[in-house]
Structure 1
Amino acid sequence: MRCQLIILIISISFSLPSSLSAKNQTLTPLDSLKAALSQASSAEVKSDLYNSLFIETIKFSPDEAKIYAQLQINLAGKESLNKGLAQGLNNLSVYYNSQGKLDSAGYFIEQTILAYEKTKDLSGLGGAYLNLGNLNRQSGDFPAAISAYKKASSYFSQAGETSKYASAINGIGNAKRNLGELDSALFFYKTALDVTDTATLQAIALMNIGNVLAQKGEYEEAVEYHLKSVKIKEELNDRRGLMSSYINMGVIYSRLEQFDKSEASYRKAIKESEAMGIKQSTAMAYNNIGTNKARQNDFDSAAFYFKKSLDIRKTLGNRMEIGMSENNLGNVYRDLGKLDSALHYHELALQSKLEANDKYGIPSAYYNTGSILSLLGRPEAEEYILKGYNMAREVSPVLEEEAAKTLFDHYQARKNYKAALDIQTRLIALKDTLRSEETKKRIEELEKKYESEKKDNEIALLAKDNELQAQKIAQTETERIIYIISVIFMIGWGAGFFYLQRKKHQADLFLAEKEKLVFDQKIKQLLKESEITRIESLLKGQEEERKRMARELHDGLGGMLAALKISLQSETKGSSANNRAVMLAEKSADEVRKISHNLMAGALQKYGLVEALRDMSRQVEESTNLKLSFYCDRDEYMLNPEAETHLFRMLQEIISNCLKHAKAGELSIQIHQEADTIHITTEDDGVGFDPNKVVNGIGTDNIRDRAEALHAKLSVESSKGRGCTYFIEVPIVINQLT
């Protein structure tokens, strides 16, 4: 079965790998850098120049760039330049990434992290983890990418680099989108847009939001976000950014089947990429024009543009992208009926994807090659298709479905109906397989063919008996016809009467059911309102009881402990027992004050929600091993005291759960306001749990009850080994300060 032709949507990170992000529009020309290198006297200056030369040459001459990275590493090792060593290692990871050698790129990223850890360079560590996140995302390990992006955001936050922090948040959004968690991705992109303080990064955030909306099928709104992004990039004369926007808009217009607008956008991207010498983007745009042509059944033009894309990609040496172009050419030549050419390109694609270790591309390359071999009647076809099918089952249900369809077509063409039926049954069992009436009909036909083959011999043996029976039946045919006509008339009259009565009965039942549904809805609404009132009263009572207990502890037991301390101090001093008693009384008084403070949430009453949460975060980090990062976009959210108390207690309970159950090393809390809603997200890297199976307890019940009291939306994302994320959306209108 052929793979679908590919249209790529670019997932843009706020920053390229750290060695690339230094490049800007005022970059010194290559000849000037070489001249400066020949005159450089100090090792530090030479190291910086090697880094700049790498940045200047990586796009158009990767092998030359690799030499500069190696020279910088050698110099740094000789002169003990830790920063230069880290930069050189990072640049080598960028080089291997550009060549599609992801394992090598990953190794040098790990070495980069070790080098930056020695220098305690928080910004450098953040950049290295950001690059690791990008690499994991490219490799398809999206949970690992999210983990790396979170570490990057933590280091950037500690370093006070707001824009790079936004880069890491944007990276989390990219990985969430790859996992299909589009609403979550949208949240992180919008958070990044709110956080960033530069126009360039705002334009990138707007473009990424547009990409997610396009994936959700909201194309018109997606175009609006892209146009906002383009406007900012035009004002900044950001040609690289404009190129990316044109490619993404070309994709959206293609999905809307507005192919003229799509091609016009791709050609704008080609103009910009050729002017800047960015061959990778030029190849991508030609590839996508070819895809458009194939969708319009203009296969000769599609082959022309796919070849242009392939020729450019061969000069860059990225085996994964080369394999993509070769696969597309194989598909087009199959559509043109040129099976020998199709086989040639699919075999080349298989070799390229094996060299790139492309775990998603290798299975499809096997079964695509097998599909062409099957059409050519070659005996090795089934071996290729089965190998691709078995590999696809280990990688993705989507790939398994494609492979299964290819195998089904092969078995059906060979009239192996039993095997075809087995593979079609497997297709039905897949979560995302076709469940249409056409599929069921095909299965029924296969079953009939299979059963007919089994019974061919039986039919032949019974043919003579059937002929004798037919002669006997013919003798009584007239009598039977008269009898059947009479019976049919009676049945028809009775069926008509019964049908009318049943329709009347169904109408009565429908009206009764509708009335019952309306009544049930009213009852449910009343019960819900009653439950919310009960919860509000219960929570209010709990809070009053907390305050009463805090006052009694502070004024009663606290006072007695203070008196005991004074009394002990007035006794004969110098006794070790006496000193221990004074120390114990003092510690007891401190503990009573701490309990009283927690019960009363004193900082909350004095300074408000934001300062109380900051105070609580500091206390948690000082007294536990949990690393807690707290971010909010303003100092006050204009909520009434009762709403602030509910939110404070909810987050207090989440932190408590994280400490007691999650075994987490890191927890982040992010709060930002968008329009009339406050969005709160908490994420930890703990052991996780299944939200559908977790046993309710006082803590989780309190969180849910307080969310209902706030009329807030509460959702939880978690699974074993992947931490836990809470999403809370609080409407401001209902809970605002009056």
Structure 2
Amino acid sequence: MDIISIRKILICITLCYSFLCIGQESISIQLDSAIDSLDANPNYSYSVLSKISRDKEQQDSIKSKAKLYLGSYFNSIGVVDSSMYYTRASLIHLRNKKHLAQAYRLLGSSFRRSGNMDEAIEMLYRSLKISEEIDYIEMITKVKSDFGILNANNENYDKSIQFFEESNAATTDKKIISSNYINIGAVYFRKKDYDNAEKFFLKAYEMIPPNTSPKASATLALNIGDVLHENKKYEEALAYFNDSKKIADLHGFKDKSINAIVHKSKAIAALGKPQEAINLLNNSLAPAKLISNLEIQKNIYENLTNIYTSIDDYKSANLALNNFHTLKDSISDSRQKKTITELEVKYETATKEKEILLLKEDQLSSEAEIKRQRLLRRFYIIGFIIVLIPIIGLLLVYYQKLQVKTKYNAQKEEINRQKTASFLNEQELKLANTYVIAQNEERNRIARELHDSIGGNIAAIKLQMINIEKDKKTQATIIDQLDNTYQQVREISHNLIPKKINQTAFANYIREYIDTIEKVTDPDITFIPHPIEKINTINDNQKVEIFRIIQELMTNALKHAKARVIEICLNAYNDSIEIIFEDDGIGFDSKKETNGIGLENIKKRLTLLKAKIDIDSAINRGTAIRIEIPIVLNDKK
């Protein structure tokens, strides 16, 4: 069995298991989507959550989660009975402690709204206990805030403030902290401690930017103004009322804008400008009626009554008071209608719940059968997985063995390839070295022949010609020609094999050559050999080639580069010799001009030595050449 076959089997097994789980994953996605949409699209969330909670095929844990968030939905719209029903139903199968903490907090909120404070406290304490056990910080802060609100409603103001402060201490969430500051400010306002109320309202106001939470900022500015007004700081109160109106106007909150004017009129009247306050209130009546806000209209008439009374205009005060009571009765009627409507909704909900309970009783037998079938299906799945796991394990072991074997064979092939390449490189290096040795020996032979035979013969002829006394002019000419020829033969002989290269330390030999060049040329030439001891032990044949390369580089630099500074580094390593030649001359385009005679000669020598060359040059930027030559051991002792 090959690797591809094993992969196909594993893919098939994975697909089979995926088909078994895909239905469950789809419901989970729908549930999470409904939960995320509770605030933005509550109707959609209610529809999905209701469907999942009634689906008999779903697991109890999923249905319980759906019921929990149905309870949250009904709590958000103020239908307390339905909220309590679904939340209690969810508690039967909830096992996740975070969900349990959330459920008990939801029950506490429902009991508080229904006026059952003792039950509310008990549920909130249960939620707090579970949250502290699992370090559920978000829920701890919310429950402590709930305790603060509960105690504030019961007029336990000091305890209320303590809970709000504990909630803030447990979180870094700015939204929760600012909300708690508002609640603390409201508690101090009820206690008539206006300085502290102002302090905490201002803290909250600083944390709520008007551009991100304009409605909250407008309301909070109004609250701060009310506190300052009660504290008789009328000018400061007026400033905050103006801020509230400005934010409301900017973001189109008409009700809040008119409300800010109503509050502003109280501050203006307190500053001794009753007529200005009356004008403001009368001008705000039309916009209030336009948006059909009875509560604001009632407040306008109430303020008009108070201001007219303060200036002894009892006729206008009486008219405003009559309008106030008319609106108050209208509001009362509206509230009664709303209460009746809510009661009807609650009654209809309770009736539907009773019908659901009756239907559930009728379907108990069929549910038992469904549960039995579900249990059997689970047993089949578990059995299938139990059989599947050893098979997958064996396939994985076999697959790993194949991988190890494949890697071993690949490594073995790579090692053999490297050994072959190394052997070929070694043979090529030996061959090149042999060629260099043979070349140098042939040069030595030619140099000796030129020097010993031809040079000796010319020298003898020269001596004989000196003895000829006749024809002095011809004699002198022949002697000069022979002398020139003799000097040329000596020069060719010395160029073929440098005179001192085998007799002088190599580093000193190169330095003497450079000193000689430096005396008759302009550039400042620096030669840096390292380490000198190792350089002096370089193979004799390689010494000749290295010297010729340095000569060629120097000739090119002096002839073409117009350099002021030349630096030559000769470094000997364990397995290579490095020549670095740099000058600050006019440089050349290394991409175009790399085929000059000098460079071609150097490259031919380097090819024989199996060496590498790197050239870095650019116009008006100088030249840097690096040559790396594999080292050859010196056979001479």
TM-score range, shorter chain: 0.3 to 0.5
If you compute each CA radius of gyration, which structure gives the higher value, 1 or 2? 2
State the TM-score, normalized to the length of structure 2.
Answer: 0.43
- Structure with the bigger RCO (C-alpha within 8 Å, sep 6+) is 1
State the TM-score, normalized to the length of structure 1.
Answer: 0.38
